[in-house]
Chains A and B, each alone.
Chain A
Amino acid sequence: ETGVTQTPRHLVMGMTNKKSLKCEQHLGHNAMYWYKQSAKKPLELMFVYSLEERVENNSVPSRFSPECPNSSHLFLHLHTLQPEDSALYLCASSQGTRQETQYFGPGTRLLVL
């Protein structure tokens, strides 16, 4: 039980759809992260938010748009995705950044048709 929840757990969308992934942490943490996990590739960091401000963006295409309305919630808005964007999207949170351990949610399995 990590205290990080993600919805939906599974999502199938067409390339013209717009959808959003939601992450919520119940741990009182100040930093939240989006990672992408593709088959046979290491996890890739997408975005980092600390105290609701984006502090890192790892060259992610603009079809992925993060939003952090408060320190407990993180969204990933998706639009005009490509089939190669199909992956497991993991959210994580930590008390602070750098030395703090990150705790992960269960992920959203995304399939883009």
Chain B
Amino acid sequence: AQTVTQSQPEMSVQEAETVTLSCTYDTSESDYYLFWYKQPPSRQMILVIRQEAYKQQNATENRFSVNFQKAAKSFSLKISDSQLGDAAMYFCAYRSGIIGGSEKLVFGKGTKLTVNP
């Protein structure tokens, strides 16, 4: 079974600074997708960024980028120029890309990010 581990229950960053959230995962599958979701206090889960395992290039979405290390099974999220609105719970998630594999997203426990003004 696949597992996702987020080793940082809480992180804080100063406004305008950069922060990196860690995520590692365990799988024996070769084809899969990785996601970072954000859940603000209003609790609606929002997709931040996604990465296909077959792509070597790291995904980037504006101020959000990932460092995908497939061999190390690591998928960290970097937030540049942090803004107050970035404060939220961040969840790392895994999804199988194997035909016949599970349909579900496997989530980590989350990292609570605080942005200090």
**A residues at B contact (CB < 8 Å):** 2, 31, 33, 35, 40-43, 45, 48, 50, 55-56, 58, 88, 90, 92, 97-99, 101-107
Q: Are B104 and A101 in contact, with the CB atoms below 8 A?
A: no
**B residues at A contact (CB < 8 Å):** 4, 33, 35, 37, 42-47, 50, 52, 91, 95-97, 99, 101-110
- Known contacts A98-B95, A98-B97, A101-B35: A48-B104 contact under CB 8 Å: yes
Q: B30 to nearest A CB, angstroms? A: 14
- Known contacts A99-B33, A101-B47: A45-B42 contact under CB 8 Å: no
A48 to B44 alpha-carbon distance, docked (Å): 19
Number of A-B contacts (CB under 8 A): 60
A55 to B107 alpha-carbon distance, docked (Å): 19
Q: Are B47 and A103 in contact, with the CB atoms below 8 A?
A: yes
Residue of B nearest to A31 (CB): B103
- Known contacts A98-B97, A101-B35: A43-B105 contact under CB 8 Å: yes
Query: Top 5 A-B pairs ranked by shortest CB distance?
Result: A104-B45, A45-B104, A43-B107, A42-B107, A48-B103
Q: Are B105 and A102 in contact, with the CB atoms below 8 A?
A: yes
Q: Are B46 and A2 in contact, with the CB atoms below 8 A?
A: yes
